[in-house]
Amino acid sequence: MKILANDGIDPIGKKMLEDAGFTVDTQNIPQDQLATRLQEYDALTVRSATKVRKDLIDACPNLKLIGRGGVGMDNIDVDYARSKGITVINTPAASSLSVAELVFAHLFTGIRFLEMSNREMPVRGDSAFNDLKKNYAKGVELRGKTLGVMGFGRIGREAAKIAIGLGMNVLAFDIFEFNPEVEIQFADEQKMIFKVSSVTKEYLLKNADFITLHVPAIDGKPVIGTDEFAIMKKGSAIVNCARGGVIDENALIATLDAGHLAFAGIDVFENEPTPSKAILSHAKISLSPHIGAATNEAQERIGVELAQLMIEALS
């Protein structure tokens, strides 16, 4: 049985599949060639780059399984595939910590003006060092501040754990009922349970110093737009490492330009892989190119979990 890992798979996961008797091909087939060349494979694995839409599914009746290495399956027509008898799986837990850590990379970048100083230091650092030192000398600390976690699933919970470890207060909101208790594991194997505050969306927006988003867009519409930005605290900040389109990017730029928000951290964009130039060039936005799950540890966990699920499903 042949598997195409079109967006790659960790070597450990690949070996697990091969040891189970599968042939694994890691070449990347361009999207416009998939309908033709996918005919020779029984299963397909993707990350976020490859799109598996209705037309591709219809063109490949040989497919028995589609695996998504990661959390969201926005790039797959899941219900349609399943209606055709195709098994669709993903790895929702494997990358949670990596995404949560990236959230705090953006937060630390913003509170210490690194997104701006990293742009100016190469240009003016040797001629205006003292001016830059003065410009960026009013940073703040995260300890004692309030983090609003919008979407309290696996990644949101990991973000809350990091925040608690830093001494932050945590407000959590989700449209689904959730357990407000989180267990934090320390390096010496000690564990402690903490309880976060479960609040409404409006309360979170009004009272959080920093907001991290871990929700999908609803019916293709942004979750955070002009109205939501208007009720956020002046001087607060927002990070989106969830999905492109969750934030109205035009409204974000307008809010930053008006001075209402201090900064934003963006890992995912409305128009990937060609994000808006206005977003990419904005001095108050910390940027990364959709790398939330892109750590060596997360990719290994994803590969192992994906391989295990595929072996179970295809056997």
- Asked about 243 being catalytic, the answer comes back as yes
Q: What share of the chain is helix, strand, coil (3-state, %, to 5)?
A: 40, 20, 40
Give the whole-angstrom CA distance, residue 214 versus residue 172: 11
Q: Which of 40, 181, 202, 272 is catalytic?
A: 272
Give the whole-angstrom CA distance, residue 27 versus residue 44: 12
Give the whole-angstrom CA distance, residue 4 versus residue 52: 13
- Asked about 154 being catalytic, the answer comes back as no
Q: Which of 47, 154, 214, 290 is catalytic?
A: 290
The residues, ordered by sequence, that sit 6+ positions from 66 with a Cβ below 8 Å of its Cβ are: 43, 44, 45, 46, 52, 76, 81, 86, 87, 88, 89
Tokens of 227: 């109205």
Neighbours of 281 (CB within 10 A): 10
Tokens of 182: 């989180």
Give the whole-angstrom CA distance, residue 264 versus residue 285: 5
Q: Which of 243, 270, 301, 305 is catalytic?
A: 243
What angle, 0 to 180 degrees and rounded to 10, lies between the N-to-C axes of helices 96-111 and 154-165?
50
Which 8-state DSSP code applies to residue 189? S
If you write DSSP's letter for every residue of 34-73 in order, what string do you get? HHHHGGG-SEEEE-SSS-B-HHHHHH-TT--EEEESSS--
Q: In the chain, what is the straight-line distance between the N-terminal and C-terminal CA atoms, in Å?
A: 10
Neighbours of 223 (CB within 10 A): 20
Task: Name the nearest CA neighbour of 194 among 231, 250, 133, 147.
Answer: 147
- Asked about 305 being catalytic, the answer comes back as no
Q: Which helix (H) or strand (E) holds 157?
A: helix 154-165
Active centre residues (catalytic): 243, 272, 290
